[in-house]
């Protein structure tokens, strides 16, 4: 039985099949679907299972190899790289909202409601005039099943205009921004990300169980509607040894 790989981009267009296949295989590796690293499915098996061409399979595997998830050797097939070879880090693809959602599905965000607050100065400076008012604040740890160490501390803030909807957001039901869309009848059209290496503050270090001033990736993520209005902003701190971003870039011909 073949497995259909048919996902769409945010604007309704089809993604290249090899990217869809790579995303599905990547998620399976992270979930532990292939317990024996030396027996990853062959190209022929993947072609039959997903109903795709050998070219599509090879491009998908090339993407996973670039991410550092697999190693391919002529004559000996494909093997999954051990976590140690990847630095023990979770590799998160960076291309579209679909991959953000996949990240959310593959991990768990254990957040609690912090009430309303002024937006922290660093975030307020990032978005300028839109920062006024009291924002609804959530804080929590992003976890994966194994290992049990947190991969991120995230503070998420909902714009004051949507305070009523924010009060109805519940843990473990869906991502915060998807719940906000449903509860406030809004649509997020764009997500921007600002990634910077920063030292862990005392609070961040304590929450993540790392030494103070350890290197972290800070990811500021803004969720905007079609008119450019900010609906949500979040700041996530990822320990450098537990998280890595990967990016696949097409070369123009």
* pLDDT tens-digit series, residues 12-35: 456 789 988 988 898 888 777 887
Q: Report how many helices (DSSP H) and strands (DSSP E) the chain contains, helices first.
A: 8, 10
Burial class (CB in 10 A: 0-12, 13-18, 19+), 88: middle
**With 70 as the cut, is the pLDDT of residue 9 above it?**
no
Farthest-apart Cα atoms in the chain, separation: 62
C-alpha neighbours within 13 Å on the C-beta side of residue 202? 0
pTM value > 0.75: no
Q: Which two tokens stand for residue 239?
A: 């320990």
User: What is the pLDDT at residue 252?
Assistant: 62
The DSSP string of 104-147 is HHHSEEEEEEEEEEEPPHHHHHHHGGGG-SEEEEEEEEEE-SSS
Render pLDDT for 109-167 as a digit per residue (tens, 0 to 9).
889 999 999 999 989 988 876 788 999 999 999 887 665 789 899 999 999 999 999 99
Q: Which among 38, 123, 121, 112 has a CA at the least distance from the CA of 78?
A: 38
Residue range 46-101, pLDDT digits in tens: 999 999 999 999 999 988 887 778 888 777 788 887 654 454 555 555 555 665 66
Per DSSP, the three-state class of 252 is: coil
d(CA 22, CA 3): 13
Backbone angles phi, psi at 167, to 5 degrees: -65, -20
What pairs with residue 165 in β-bridges?
none
Q: What is the DSSP letter of 188?
A: -
């Amino acid at each position: 039985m073949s497995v259909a790989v048919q996902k769409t981009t945010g604007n309704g267009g089809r993604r290249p099949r090899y990217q869809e296949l790579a995303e599905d295989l990547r998620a399976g590796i992270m979930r532990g679907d292939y317990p024996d690293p030396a027996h990853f499915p062959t190209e022929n098996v993947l072609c039959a299972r997903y109903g795709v061409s050998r070219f599509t399979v090879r491009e998908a595997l090339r993407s996973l190899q670039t991410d550092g998830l697999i190693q391919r050797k002529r004559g000996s097939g494909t093997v999954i790289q051990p976590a140690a070879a990847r630095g023990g880090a979770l590799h998160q693809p960076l291309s579209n909202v679909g991959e953000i959602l996949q990240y959310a599905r593959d991990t768990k965000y254990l957040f609690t409601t912090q009430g309303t607050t002024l937006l922290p100065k660093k975030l307020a400076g990032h978005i300028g005039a839109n920062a006024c008012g009291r924002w609804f604040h959530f804080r929590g740890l992003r976890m994966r099943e194994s290992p049990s160490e947190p991969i991120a501390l995230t503070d998420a803030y909902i714009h004051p205009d949507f305070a009523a909807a924010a009060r109805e957001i519940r843990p473990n039901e869906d991502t915060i921004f998807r719940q906000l869309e449903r509860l406030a009848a809004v649509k997020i059209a764009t997500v921007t990300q600002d990634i910077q290496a920063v030292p862990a503050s005392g609070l961040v270090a304590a929450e993540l169980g790392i030494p103070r001033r350890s290197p972290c990736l800070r990811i500021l993520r803004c969720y905007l509607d079609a008119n450019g209005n900010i609906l949500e902003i979040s700041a996530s701190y990822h320990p450098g040894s537990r998280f890595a971003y990967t990016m696949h870039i097409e070369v123009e011909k």
